[in-house]
Amino acid sequence: MNYFELFGLPLGFEIDGAALASRYRELQRAVHPDNFASAREQERLMAVQKTAEINDAFQTLKSPLGRAEYLLRLNGLELRGESTTIKDPMFLMEQLELREAMAELPDSADPESAAMDLADRLAGDRKAMFAEFQRQFAEQQWDGAADTVRKLKFIHKLEDELSLLEEQWAQ
């Protein structure tokens, strides 16, 4: 059973977040290990394993990037731990420029405003890439969809690094 089936959701990138969260709570209540405290050891172990599976499924599906990777995995493309590189020179140049812009943030006249501008640009890039992924997924363009997810990982990493930098400034 895949994660979409586990949560009773249609297979696809767009999901109903409220339905996902509601079903998560229902599943957790049903298999919570406390419900099996007086059961046989095998049943208790199964409850713990099922709880872990539900948690993993929920974390995967609630994250757009995790969901995109999972959809590719269901279609035979495993991206976790891969060593495939991005071959799009324009994208790679943009990434270098973004990294340089992030490195220059502390020295800018208004670092917070510059950081917000960079965050807005990254958010726009992410949104456009998710739209591209949805199109590629719908058209079953698996290689293109995989490349888009690889690019999204770059954007995600930059967003995380920018958030860490902003947290450091707040301290």
The full set of domains in the chain, from first to last, is 3-62 (1.10.287.110), 89-170 (1.20.1280.20)
* Region 42-69 average pLDDT: 92
- Checking if the pLDDT of 128 tops 90, the result is yes
pLDDT tens digits along 135-171: 999 999 999 999 999 999 999 999 999 999 888 877 7
Listed in sequence order, the residues at least 6 apart from 158 whose beta carbon sits closer than 8 Å to its beta carbon are 95, 98, 99, 102, 122
DSSP 139-166: TT-HHHHHHHHHHHHHHHHHHHHHHHHH
Confidence of residue 34 (pLDDT cuts 50, 70, 90): confident
What pLDDT is stored for residue 48 in this prediction? Answer: 84
Listed in sequence order, the residues at least 6 apart from 37 whose beta carbon sits closer than 8 Å to its beta carbon are 44
What pLDDT is stored for residue 170 in this prediction? Answer: 78
Return the structure tokens found at 115.
């950081």
What pLDDT is stored for residue 3 in this prediction? Answer: 97
- Checking if the pLDDT of 45 tops 90, the result is no
Confidence of residue 82 (pLDDT cuts 50, 70, 90): confident
- Checking if the pLDDT of 56 tops 90, the result is yes
Computed over every residue of the chain, the mean pLDDT equals 92
SS3 2: coil
- Checking if the pLDDT of 62 tops 80, the result is yes
Torsion of CA 63, 130, 75, 47, to 10 degrees: 10
